[in-house]
Structure 1
């Protein structure tokens, strides 16, 4: 089975003291984990990032990339006031903060432009400058290009939509895992995030076509007897799904980004464990060889000592025999 959790713990400082109380530890375990490129559970850290953006938005930043590096650094310092983590997780936490911040700001601005009303956390002067930027030819051109890219027909599967809302894919995966009692397959996750709850109809043609093609390919693989061993079934599911959706497009596999990352992480962990085991075995062999060499040296030394002692005992006896003659 694949395990999607990488234990980079992110702990709320508000709950830090509670962890020292055994009777409350189970009830108030608010540990956060980093799952590949997402916080899980995501609500508390992403809400904190949203609050930081709102409280520190003091210039017309049209996107996360337009926020100066020193400002993002200051925002991250604010994030550190709310959470703590082990030093070895700094790089991953910071990288995830940047990614979540970019996504959060984009979604916030999308909602703002949709309603066309200035929120209280944006000053009037900044609001005017933002509207000027959003109305510029360059911004409109980039926006239309991004829309076209999202609506492009990739591999004959049509445009890509989903019904997951703001809930991260990792959250859907964990919910499905609890329901199924095992890791969800790509096709199960695709159905969860691309079917309407009210009528179970596909949200777009791409999801429907991907499901149908996957089903046909899987039947072909089953008939051929592939993936029959327990250890390879799950990997076969990922491989078939990747084949059904046309493999990687722009460096990603449709509907499989998080799973592929988890699979790669697990394979890397397996390789690392194997390397560690080999290194440990080699060290043990070397230690045994060294001990054997030391033992041989000790035996040689004892043999020389016996020979020397035997020689000393023989010499007086020969001398006594000579004198008697």
Structure 2
């Protein structure tokens, strides 16, 4: 009896079995399909994907890039009171304000709301943003506008800005306002307040840091130094006087606050009074 051909039982066996002309290996249990047969009515046609299904979703706009549809530049929230990009919008706001400064408004508060709205509308012609940023953009616009008006008026008054952009009649009225008694009184009061604030923040601890002062006082007092100890060391002159009345008022307020929470008996010793 002739030897029958060996049938491979695995994919590994197929490579090791010699091929014979009469050998038939079935790879599927279904009957062979006629490749020339006409598809029946129950055959599902192949799914054709539309070109839109292959399109990638649009990328989010990059701040500072110009929109191809409207020619506007995209902006988004940046740091506090600022945009992304930070530089361009400030210049645009300054140019918008200077182009339509029709009355002698000495500061942002005096500018009528309809003018502020008009300036913002001009800003919207050059920039665009997502609707969810609307409140942020308007608040940032107002802040920048306030700073720009303040700085511009200061430069005009000091002669650093020649004011060629402003209407001559408006400039004359501004000059009259700045030379008036009311403005001078307000200006003098502001200067005094700034001097007081600077005095209250004056540091008399020389070039020694607070940390070093605190470590030294631990050894001097033989106890942990308190905030009051440090203030007495760094807010008094060499003659033992507070740098000014406002500094003393701040310390007195601290003392009252601490006594209301936890009464202490060593206040006189702490401040040497």
TM-score by length of 2: 0.48
Work out which structure has the larger RCO, using CA pairs closer than 8 Å and 6 or more positions apart in sequence.
1
TM-score by length of 1: 0.41
Larger Rg: 2
